[in-house]
Structure 1
Amino acid sequence: MFSHKLLSLLPDLASFILVVNEGSFTAAAKKLGVTPSALSKTITRLESALSAKLFERTTRKLVITQAGQKVYDQSVLMVNAAQQAIDVSQSDHTEPTGSITVAAPEAFLNSVLQPFITPFLVRYPGIQLKVRAVDGEIDLLRMGIDVAFKLTDKPDENLVMIELGPTNLVLCASPEYITKRGLPRTPSDLEKHDCLYLAETERDNIWDFLKDDEFHTVKVTGRYAINHSQMRLQGVKQGLGVGIFHDFVISEAIEDGSVVPVLSDWTIKSNYHGAVALQYAQTKYMPARLRVFLDYVVTELPSKLTN
């Protein structure tokens, strides 16, 4: 049987999870419909009950402690188990209902997933879909994500994976730029060209190329760096330099001739090269809303990736 202490702590633990996920008392309090001071008192009460400090509070930011991280991880498991109990109770509903939170890289959302969102919501009016554009690592547990689209050759081994299709990186430039600056013949030639890159990390302007057993790493430079794929593509189309794009982003531009592939006999290596992977947590009782979403994606998306 559950102890009285455990039962009394459950609401506070749920509030604690929300504070961690939102990153602040103010944001979490807004979602809960309470004041930040009231929520702060809730967390203080929880810390007292657990005899553990959960946060390091400063005037600038809220940092979870090592003990707080352990409490968070276990609390999320508890909340997920409670959600599964709700899902089981609703499994007999003929119409899937409830909320699904989906995460995917921005470029994938814009170029591939966006056209499929509205038809899915029309087909399943009882489902609420929350879509987040997340570039970089996607941690389902910590971010409260139900299903994630990842562009990678190293999927998370702790999650279920459905491979939707391959994705490759393509180096491109406009015909006008090539006429003016010349066509790069080797990766090393890029050192003499203007290149558009992401500028998110220190290594974003270091490009790796592979052909057979030959490997080249090139440090590129350029006057325009941006982590938005469509704006970067417009820059390449307008002759600002050479850029790297996923095949699903650049395919139409190649077809209409506004850009041309460069160094197409080389493979570009990156963390975002490999496969389009659909990943979600293993569960004994999959809610109907998630099952119909997975079925919809597996049926509709692969053909888009191969076109």
Structure 2
Amino acid sequence: MQNTQLIPLLPDLASFILIVEEGSFTAAAKKLDVTPSALSKLVTRLEKALSIKLFERSTRTLLITRSGQKVYDQAVIMLNAAKQAVELSLSDHSEIQGTLTIAAPEAFLNSVVQPHVLPFLNLYPKVKLQLRVADGEIDLLRDNIDVAFMLTDTPDERLILKELGKTNLVLCASPDYIEQRGMPEHPSELVQHDCLYLAENDHDHIWRFIKGDEVHSVSVTGRYAVNHSQMRLTGVKNGLGIGILHDFVIADALEQGDVVPVLSDWTLRSNYHGFIAMQYAQTRYMPARLRVFIDYVCEHLIQRLA
């Protein structure tokens, strides 16, 4: 498609994004101050120009098609690039300002990112940070996120990746608990102990261990399960059992002797281990506030997490 053919479609694609995000013609029409029928005609025009069907429509539902989802994903990239171009044209390049939206898993956000928030904001007083806890799947393009931190072995291939370090899951318990209940020597012995797990899904109580060629799964039980890392750590410190936590969460507690490692010669496997990835969208027009944040993270976190 030539640029002369593409340019008239750009406003329609922007409206299409809003229809998808609002979930109906009526809701999107209110935000655009137009009629729902006008948006319906717009979609029909766009479908004809693209030679694909964007929605499955009925009197009650509006469902995006598989082809429509692909168009939406690319249109969001287009809209974000337009936003960045506008920001560049309006900004004073001598002054770093604006809003950054940062997403990360709760444990990482609280233990690693949060201590650096105030120093960063003090360094750049006209930058605003919006922090989002995101323990599940993160979609930067859909959720309008500038930077996402992920604990994974499978980063999003559509995004730029900076590897900050590795993270492992660690079992730990309080010294008092171990003194009273004993130190397990093999994963199979965990069935005799109280264990603290996430309780996010039906499989969180099944812990999988690897040592060399040996693989072992254990179904654990306990009096206390919580999907908040600091609450789980507090439970471990207070002798409620053996807990599963990230290494960066328990580093200080280990150093201070509040907890001791358990089965440290085994490796725990889960969805939340692997390398610590910082990801952001690829763009030719990166706002200065995003560049300084990325540089700040690389300077202050890579050495700590490596």
TM-score range, shorter chain: 0.7 to 0.9
Residue type of the partner of 2:110?
Answer: N
2:12 is aligned to: 9
- Alignment partner, residue 296 of structure 1: 296
Q: Is the 8 A contact 1:187 1:263 kept in 2?
A: yes
Alignment pair present for 1:260 and 2:260: yes
Q: 1:70-114: CA deviations, max 9, x gaps?
A: 342232122023123224435761112222211100001111110
Contact persistence 2:19–2:25 (CA under 8 A):
no
**TM-score, scaled to structure 2:** 0.84
> 152-161 or 217-226, which moves further after superposition?
152-161
- Please say if residues 14 and 75 of structure 2, whose CA atoms lie closer than 8 Å, have aligned partners that are also in contact: no
In structure 1, distance between residues paired with 2:223 and 2:59: 38
Structure-1 separation of matches of 2:35 and 2:150: 35
Give the 3 Å change call, closer, same or farther, for CA 36–188 of structure 1 in structure 2: farther
What number of residue pairs does the alignment pair up?
Answer: 298
Once residues 9 and 50 of structure 1 are traced to their aligned partners in structure 2, the CA distance between those partners, rounded to angstroms, is: 7
Structure 1, unaligned runs of 5 or more = none
2:212 corresponds in structure 1 to 212
CA contact (8 A) 1:187 1:218 kept: yes
Q: 1:47–1:10: structure 2 CA closer, same or farther, 3 Å change rule?
A: closer
* Unpaired runs of at least 5, structure 2: 48-52
RMSD (CA atoms): 3.1
CA distance in 2, matches of 1:176, 1:2: 73
Offset at residue 291 of structure 1 (A): 0.6
Distance 1:192 1:138, change over 3 A: same
State how 1:220-259 maps to structure 2 within 5 Å: 220-259=220-259
What are the within-5 Å matches in structure 2 for residues 1-307 of structure 1? 1=4, 6=9, 9=12, 12-16=15-19, 18-19=21-22, 34=30, 44=40, 46-50=42-46, 52=53, 54=55, 64-89=64-89, 93-305=93-305
Measured against aligned partners, the alpha-carbon deviations of 1:137-191 in whole angstroms (never above 9, x if no partner) come to 2222222222111112332333221121222211011122222222111011112
Q: 2 CA distance for matches of 1:184 and 1:56?
A: 59
Q: Which whole-Å deviations, capped at 9, do the CAs of 1:20-60 have from their partners, x for residues lacking one?
A: 6xxx899x87xx9x57997866754544444556377898x
Contact kept, 8 Å, 1:17 with 1:76, in 2: the verdict is no
The offset of 1:205, in angstroms, is 1.4
- Assess if the C-alpha contact under 8 Å between 2:25 and 2:36 holds in 1: yes
TM-score if structure 1 supplies the norm length? Answer: 0.83
Q: Which one-letter code corresponds to 2:194 in the other structure?
A: D
Tell me the CA shift for residue 4 of structure 1: 8.4
Once residues 199 and 25 of structure 2 are traced to their aligned partners in structure 1, the CA distance between those partners, rounded to angstroms, is: 31
Structure 1's 305 and 75: CA in aligned 2 closer, same or farther, altered over 3 A? same
In structure 2, how many angstroms separate the alpha carbons of the residues matched to 1:225 and 1:170? 16
Distance in 1, matches of 2:247 and 2:283, equals 33
The answer on whether the counterparts of 2:81 and 2:285 sit within 8 Å (CA) in structure 1 is no
What is the alpha-carbon distance in structure 1 between the residues aligned to residue 35 and residue 167 of structure 2? 45
User: Quick one: distance in 2 between partners of 1:293 and 1:154?
Assistant: 23
The question of whether the paired residues in 1 share the 8 Å contact of 2:155 and 2:277 is answered with yes
- What code does the residue aligned with 1:16 have? I
Query: Which stretch of structure 1 is more off in the superposition, 36-45 or 84-93?
Result: 36-45
Please, which moves more after superposition, 245-254 or 149-158?
Answer: 149-158
Q: Is the 8 A contact 1:177 1:241 kept in 2?
A: yes
User: Is the Cα contact below 8 Å between 2:104 and 2:132 reproduced in 1?
Assistant: yes
In structure 1, C-alpha distance between the alignment counterparts of 2:59 and 2:113, rounded to whole Å:
40
The CA distance in 1 between the partners of 2:97 and 2:80, in whole Å, is 17
What CA deviation, in whole Å up to 9, does each residue of 1:216-252 have, x standing for no partner?
A: 1222122322111111111112222111111111112
Q: 1:48 to 1:156 in 2, by over 3 A?
A: closer
Q: 1:151 to 1:57 in 2, by over 3 A?
A: farther
1:107 is paired with a residue whose SS is helix
